[in-house]
Chains A and B, each alone.
Chain A
Amino acid sequence: MSRIEKFLLLLACVTGLLSLFVYPLNTAGEGIASSPKLQVFCGLTLMIVAVGYALEETVLRYRLLAGIAICAVSLFGAWTLIAWLGIAADTSALAAESAQSGPGAGFWTASVAAWALGWLGVEQLAAVMSRNRLLQLVLRVVIPIVFGAWLLIIWELVTRGLSVPQVLLPSPSAIAERFANSTATLWVDFKQTFLKAVLIGYSMGCLSGFLVALLIDKSSFLKRGLLPVGNLVSALPIIGVAPIMVMWFGFDWHSKAAVVVIMTFFPMLVNTVAGLSAADHMQGDLMKTYAASYTQSLMKLRLPQALPFIFNALKINSTLALIGAIVAEFFGTPIVGMGFRISTEVGRMNVDMVWAEIAVAAVAGSVFYGLITLIERMCTFWHPSFR
C-alpha cells in the first residue's frame, strides 16, 4: 500500500469513528441514531478500513473489485448525506425558526470519510493493470466520471451544508433543477449562439484563413503585404470590435458570426502558412525531380505535411469562437442567445440560470473540441505524436 492509501484509510477510520460515536449529526444535538442509513454508511466505512488493514495483500491483488466496492460505498455515503440535507431542510422548515438545525460536526466528519473513500476508490481503479482492451476503455471512462462526480458532491455538500447564498454560488442540484425546467430557453439560446453564430463564424473564419494562406504562399507580394495586416487584425480587442460589428451587421447572429470570423481568421492563417513550409528540402527536391506541378506538390506533399498545423488552428479556434460569440452578445442582441441570457440573468440575480448557460457552453465546447481531436487523429495518424 502506498503512503497516500494508508493516509486515506486512516482518515476514513478516524472520521468514521468520530461520526459514529462522538459528534452529533446536527446542530440540535441529535446523534447518528436519527439516520439509520448514515449509520450503515459509517459501519461500511469501518469495515472497509478493517479489511484494508487485515487483508492488505489480497486487496492489492484484486484492486479492480476493491476499487468498485470502495467507490460504491463512497457514492452511497455521498448520496445519503445529500439526502439527509434535504430532510433536515424540510424538518427545519416545518419547525419554528427558532428550532432551526443545520448539519453538525458529525455530518462533516462523515462527509470527510465519504470523500476519503472516494479518493481511495479512484486510486485503486487507477492502479489497475490490465491488458483487456474493453476493461481499459471502461476504466478510462469510469475514473474521470467518479472523479467529476466527487467534485460535484463536494460542491453540493459545501454549498448546502454551509447555506452558501444562491447569488454567490448555487448548488449543483439547484443548477440542475433550473436546467431541467428551462430546457426550452436553453435550446433556443444554444441554437442562436452556437448553431448559428459560432458554427457559421467558425467555418467562415477558418476557411478564409486557410484560403488566404494559400494565396500568400503563392505570392511573396502578399506574404509581405498581407501577413502583417493579418497580424494587426489579430491584435484587435473583441470588446472594441463587437459593437462596431453590431453596427455593421445588425443585432442578429450575423454580427456575432463576424466577430467570430475576426477571432478565428488569424490563428488559421499563421498556422497554415507555417504548415505549408513544414516540408523539408529533400521532400521538396523529390517533387522537383518528378517534375511535379505546383498543384501536385501542394496536394501530395505540402498540404498533408501542413495538416497537424491546420488541426492545431482548428482546435484553438473552437474555443476562441465560443468565447467570441458569447462576449459579442453583451453588446446588443435580440432577446435570445447565451451571452444575452448570461448578462440579463446576472442582473436579475438568477445566478443558477447563468450557471446553466455556462454548463451548456462547457459541454458544447468540449464536444466540439473532442470531435475535432477525433478527426485529427484519423487524418494525422502518421504524425510522431500519435503513432
Chain B
Amino acid sequence: MSAEAQSATGNVVTASDLSLRFDTNDGAVHALSDIDLTIQAGDFVSLIGPSGCGKTTLLRVIADLETPTSGDVQVNGVSPQQARLARAYGYVFQAASLYPWRTIARNVALPLEIMGLDRKERRARVERNLELVNLSGFEKKYPWQLSGGMQQRASIARALAVEPDLLLMDEPFGALDEIVRDHLNEQLLQLWDKTNKTVVFVTHSIPEAVFLSTHIVVMSPRPGRIIDIIESDLPKDRGLDIRETPEFLAIAHRVREGLRQGHSYED
C-alpha cells in the first residue's frame, strides 16, 4: 500500500478536542483550546489569525514539534510522532534556515542524506526539486550569496525533496516583500496543482490565505481556538488577477468578519 493511495482517499490530518497549555512563570497559557479539524487529501488549508492565536502551535502539533496536553491528533491515521519518524511531511519554516556551510544543492540534499538515499537518487531529486522552484543553475552557490526570496525557495525545494504528501508551511513568505510574495504565491499554487499534495499553510495575511486556499481556518487568541472554517469555491487554476473579482472579495470579507467575531481586532 503506498502512502499516496492511502492519502488520496482518507483524512490526512484529524484533530479532535485538541488542547495545549504552556505552563510559564506567569501562569498557564492556553495556546490551543478544543480544536476540531479535519484536513483531507489534496486540500490547501490556511490557518489565519492574529499573533498568539496558536496557528503556528497547531502546525507544530501536527509536525510533532509540540505535544498536546489533551485531545487526539492523527496524521495519516497514525500519531504525529509515528508520522514524523516515517517522514510523512515536509516542513517549511518562517526563515529559510539553510546551513551556510552547504551549497544550495547540498542543502536540498540534507534530508536525503539523513534518509540514507544513495548518491544517484539524491542527485536526481535535488535536480528535480530545484527545477520545480526555478533555482536550476544555483546548485553551487552558497545560501548567503542568494536573495531572501531565493533562499526561501531553496528551503521549499528542500522540504519537497523528501517527497512528502503533506507539506506544512509556517508563514514561509512572512519576511519577504509583497512583490516577491505575490510571485512565490503564484508559484506555490502551480506547484500544488502539479504535485497534488496536501498543504497546511500558516499566515496572517488575508489576501494570501484567500488566494491560496481551498479551506481557510480562522483562529482567534486567548485561548487559541477555531472561529470559522471557510470553504473557498474559487477555481483551482487561478491567477493573481482573481484578487480583484467579487467572489474573491466576498470570501475575504467573510474571513475578516470571522476575525472580528473572534475579537481579533480589539486591543
* Cα A382 to Cα B106 with chains together (Å): 14
A282/B93 in contact, CB under 8 A: yes
* Most chain A beta-carbon contacts within 10 A, residue among B63, B87, B114, B115: B114
Q: Which residue of the partner chain, among B63, B95, B99, B142, contacts A289 with CB atoms under 8 Å? A: B63
Provide the residues of chain B in CB contact with A382, threshold 8 Å: 100-101, 142, 144
A347 vs B84: C-alpha distance in the bound complex, in angstroms? 72
Tell me if A300 counts as interface (CB < 8 A to partner B): yes
Option from A304, A383, A384 in Cβ contact (under 8 Å) with B99:
A304
Inter-chain contacts of A286 with B (CB < 8 A)? 91, 93, 97
Whether a CB of chain A sits under 8 angstroms from the CB of B211 is no
- Taken residue by residue from 48 to 79, chain B's Cβ proximity to chain A (1 for < 8 Å, 0 otherwise) reads as 00000000000000011100000000000000
Whether A291 and B85, one on each chain, are in contact in the complex, defined by CB atoms closer than 8 angstroms, is yes
Q: B44 in the interface, Cβ–Cβ < 8 Å? A: no
Q: Which residues of A contact B84 (CB under 8 A)?
A: 288-289, 291
Closest to B142 in A: A382
Which residues in A have their C-beta under 8 angstroms from that of B87?
290-291
- Number of interchain pairs (Cβ within 8 Å): 53
Q: Judge whether B17 is part of the interface by a CB distance below 8 angstroms.
A: no
Number of A interface residues, CB 8 Å? 21
Find out whether the CB atom of B101 lies under 8 angstroms from the CB atom of A290. no
Instruction: Type the 1/0 row for B92-121, where 1 means its CB is closer than 8 Å to any CB of A.
Output: 011101011100000000110111000000
Q: Does A344 contact B (CB under 8 A)?
A: no
CA distance A304 to B102 in the complex (A): 10
For the complex, is B89 an interface residue (Cβ under 8 Å from A)?
yes
Are B113 and A289 in contact (CB-based, < 8 A)?
no
Say yes or no for A285: interface residue by CB 8 A criterion: yes
Chain B interface residue number, banded: 20 to 34
In this complex, the member of A286, A300, A301, A381 whose beta carbon has the largest number of chain B beta carbons within 10 angstroms is A286
* Minimal beta-carbon separation of A383 from chain B (angstroms): 7
Contact with B along A283-308 (1 / 0, CB 8 A): 10111111110001000110010000
Given contacts A282-B93, A289-B84, A289-B91, contact A300 B100 (CB under 8 A): no
User: Beyond A290-B87, A292-B114, A300-B114, is A285–B101 a contact (Cβ under 8 Å)?
Assistant: no
A interface residues (Cβ-Cβ under 8 A, vs B): 280, 282-283, 285-292, 296, 300-301, 304, 380-384, 387
The 4 A-B pairs of least Cβ separation, nearest first, read A382-B100, A382-B101, A289-B91, A290-B111
- Other A-B contacts than A280-B97, A291-B85, A304-B101, 20 sampled, CB-CB below 8 A, are A282-B93, A282-B94, A283-B99, A286-B91, A286-B93, A287-B114, A288-B64, A289-B84, A289-B90, A289-B91, A290-B111, A292-B114, A300-B99, A300-B110, A300-B113, A301-B99, A304-B99, A383-B100, A384-B144, A387-B142
Listed by A's residue number, 12 A-B pairs whose Cβ atoms lie within 8 Å are: A280-B97, A283-B97, A286-B91, A288-B64, A289-B89, A289-B91, A290-B162, A291-B86, A300-B110, A380-B101, A382-B100, A383-B100
